[in-house]
Structure 1
Amino acid sequence: MNWRMPSETDRHERTWMAFPCPGPALGSTEDSRELTYRAWADVANHIVDFEPVAMLVDPTKHERARRMLSAAVELYETPIDECWMRDHGPTFVVDDASGTLGAVDWSFNGWGAPGWARWERANKNAAFVAELVGATRISSLLVNEGGGIHVDGEGTVLLTETVQLDPRRNPWADKARVEEELRRTLGITTAVWLPRGLTRDYDDFGTSGHVDIVATITAPGEILLHTQTNPEHPDFEVSRELHAVLSAATDAAGRPFRITALPAPEILRDEEGFVDYSYVNHLVVNGGVIACGFGEDRADARAREILEAAYPGRTALTVDARAIFADGGGIHCITQQQPDVAR
């Protein structure tokens, strides 16, 4: 098989998610737990207006999930210990010659094996989903997460040195070895390495620099870049550094990137410190875009306008993502698209 990861803008058969269960992401108080459940449900209930949604749910949370989710959301019971579906679930690929759907089963160690993370059950979910949809399971020894890569579907991948080369993830890896594995599993021919991610992402509950909160390829040669415009925020300099790196890069076809700034909201801090609120962490769906909202009407509206311009013909809808970001990620992080493959 010659596997290729399609662009997220290609048509989807469905979106996969995992309903929250007790653990670090769920919070320590009843109020915080309720906010997390509601945020996950809101995202699913918006997606299902555009395309089918399939939700993994722990048996202990089935009743709550069914109560909070639209009847159109399909539930699949399986033991859950981690609900960030983008990262522990399969990365779907296709073999264009045969029309076969594949599911890359990365090695997952909870974003570098921090003491708080749980992943014993999560590591089984990619295989579980692959079997459910009849996809060919593609095992990989690379410790990687779906949020650590963005592709254009034509051979280009964006990734971050502090993720795939993290010694807590892949102590023996170098760029050449990572790129060879991505060539085997995703059909990548050109890797664009970013030196780092956003500042908050290096906290204890961060991913150490996932690209899906920083930059995304909206079309071949086109990039949306998270842009912090306030010099008081440390990501002001990070944004400038990443813009310089991407400005000097080319994609698999040798094209320089056209970079569009996607400004951050105005809020700089929460009770934990500088925020990493980012509109880049959106989900493209059939006919739409599910965008993160941060309670700032003007900034949220500006983000929708930029997203609709970047994805012509799609309607952008805002879902309040503050509770998701408080748990360590965004809308893209809790979802995983399954491409529509003609069989």
Structure 2
Amino acid sequence: MTWRMPSETAPHTRTWMAFPSEGPTLGGTDAEREAGYAAWAAVAHAVAAFEPVSMLVDPSELTRARRMLGGGIEIVEAPVDEFWMRDSGPTFVVDPERPGVLGAVDWVFNGWGDHDWAVWQKAAQHGRIVAEAAGAELTPSLLVNEGGGIHVDGEGTVLLTETVQLDPRRNPYADRARVEAEMLRTIGATHAVWLPRGLTRDYGDFGTSGHVDIVATLPSPGVVLLHDQQNPAHPDHAVTRELRAFFETQTDATGRRFTIRDLPAPATVRDADGDTDWSYVNHLVVNGGVIACGFGEEEADATARGILEEVYPGRRVVTVDAREIFARGGGIHCITQQQPAVTA
């Protein structure tokens, strides 16, 4: 049996999310908490305009979730501490030899390397909980990994980052060969492209140490959509040029060289916590659309929408303000997880 992770552009049955619950990620003041709840709810409603949304909700947040989400979003009661579904939830896969069968890879989740501040014991159960709710066959993995740490083209190529899967706080005994063997077993990846690093801010205390889904994605086979920090005053100016030079030397699973499309960063280079990691790459592809991050910059947001419309032809691009999500450590892709459609 060979599982295969479809491209995010393949048809979805639904998108999974987790509703925020009180803790270090949500914020320490009433205003911060309300802003967090509102940001997650806004993304859920935007996705629900294209496809069904199922939301894990901690029992302590049921009343608030019902009020903010309304009747159009399915609520699944479950324990929630961290609420980044891309990372704590399963990675869905299909079996080409068994039409109609949905699988779910349950990675080990340890709070992005067991940071001192992270509270993740409940979130570590999300892979199993979501798989069961979705009626998927569970494929357990001993690899510490997060969905935000991989991107695939659906044809055998997977993007990884040396500082994520080989992070000694995650997988102290792993090497490239072991990780690649597990990617083949779990998601059917036959060819790994190892990015040397991620964005600068991602290496801070509250970062993931280089998740690929804020840096690069594969909108179609043979094409890389790459974050482009154009301001020389920002440390990611050098980083994104290093990554562009890297991708110029790489091939996909078929041996073809990548076509690189640059996706310029917003103009804002600093926020209250330092150098920004604001990125339009961290979008979610949905049925017939794309849910794009917005940063309150009319011109930059519009430019990003235009590029996303070009690389995802025929899809409607909708921008949702993602600043409150990024203030907590990620973007729209980080808080969502697509469930691919399977047909018998």
Q: TM-score, normalised by structure 1?
A: 0.99
Amino acid at match of 2:145: N
Amino acid at match of 2:285: V
- 2:266 — aligned with what? 265
**2:14 paired with 1:18:** no
- 2:53 — aligned with what? 53
Map 1:258-337 onto structure 2 (within 5 A): 258-337=259-338
Q: Distance in 2 between matches of 1:134 and 1:38?
A: 30
- 1:27 — aligned with what? 27
Q: Distance in 2 between matches of 1:33 and 1:164?
A: 31
Q: Distance in 2 between matches of 1:244 and 1:157?
A: 18
- 2:103 — aligned with what? 102
- 1:195 — aligned with what? 196
CA displacement, residues 203-244 of structure 1 (integer Å, 9 cap, x when unaligned): 111000000000000000011000000000000000000001
Structure 1 residue 123: Cα displacement: 1.2
Q: Distance in 2 between matches of 1:81 and 1:173?
A: 28
Question: Contact 1:289–1:315 at 8 Å: present in 2 too?
Answer: yes
Structure 1 residue 133: Cα displacement: 1.5
- 2:119 — aligned with what? 118
- 1:69 — aligned with what? 69
**2:149 paired with 1:144:** no
Amino acid at match of 1:119: W
Q: Distance in 2 between matches of 1:278 and 1:94?
A: 30
Structure 1 residue 271: Cα displacement: 1.1
Q: Distance in 2 between matches of 1:282 and 1:85?
A: 14
- 1:226 — aligned with what? 227
Q: Distance in 2 between matches of 1:328 and 1:176?
A: 30
- 1:241 — aligned with what? 242
Amino acid at match of 1:199: T
Amino acid at match of 1:11: P
Structure 1 residue 97: Cα displacement: 1.2
Is the partner of 1:218 in helix, strand or coil?
strand
Structure 1 residue 70: Cα displacement: 3.6
Amino acid at match of 2:21: C
Q: Structure 1: which 5+ residue stretches go unaligned?
A: none
Is the partner of 1:291 in helix, strand or coil?
strand
Structure 1 residue 136: Cα displacement: 0.5
Q: Distance in 2 between matches of 1:133 and 1:263?
A: 36
- 2:183 — aligned with what? 182
Bigger Cα displacement from structure 2, 285-294 vs 125-134: 125-134
Q: Distance in 2 between matches of 1:107 and 1:125?
A: 10
Question: Runs of 4 or more off by more than 3 Å in structure 1?
Answer: none
Q: Percent identity?
A: 67
Amino acid at match of 1:23: G
Is the partner of 2:93 in helix, strand or coil?
strand
Q: Distance in 1 between matches of 2:294 and 2:33?
A: 19
- 1:130 — aligned with what? 131
Q: Distance in 2 between matches of 1:106 and 1:118?
A: 17
Q: Distance in 2 between matches of 1:281 and 1:125?
A: 21
Is the partner of 2:103 in helix, strand or coil?
strand
Q: Distance in 2 between matches of 1:118 and 1:179?
A: 29
Q: Distance in 2 between matches of 1:138 and 1:94?
A: 11
Q: Distance in 1 between matches of 2:231 and 2:214?
A: 18
**2:325 paired with 1:341:** no
Question: Contact 1:202–1:209 at 8 Å: present in 2 too?
Answer: yes
Question: Contact 1:163–1:207 at 8 Å: present in 2 too?
Answer: yes
Q: Distance in 2 between matches of 1:233 and 1:53?
A: 36
Q: Distance in 2 between matches of 1:82 and 1:107?
A: 14
Question: Contact 1:45–1:70 at 8 Å: present in 2 too?
Answer: no
- 2:214 — aligned with what? 213
Q: Distance in 2 between matches of 1:181 and 1:2?
A: 12
* RMSD (Å), alpha carbons: 0.6
Q: Distance in 2 between matches of 1:170 and 1:332?
A: 24
Amino acid at match of 1:274: D
Structure 1 residue 291: Cα displacement: 0.2
CA displacement, residues 164-221 of structure 1 (integer Å, 9 cap, x when unaligned): 0000000001100000000000001100000000001011110000000000000000
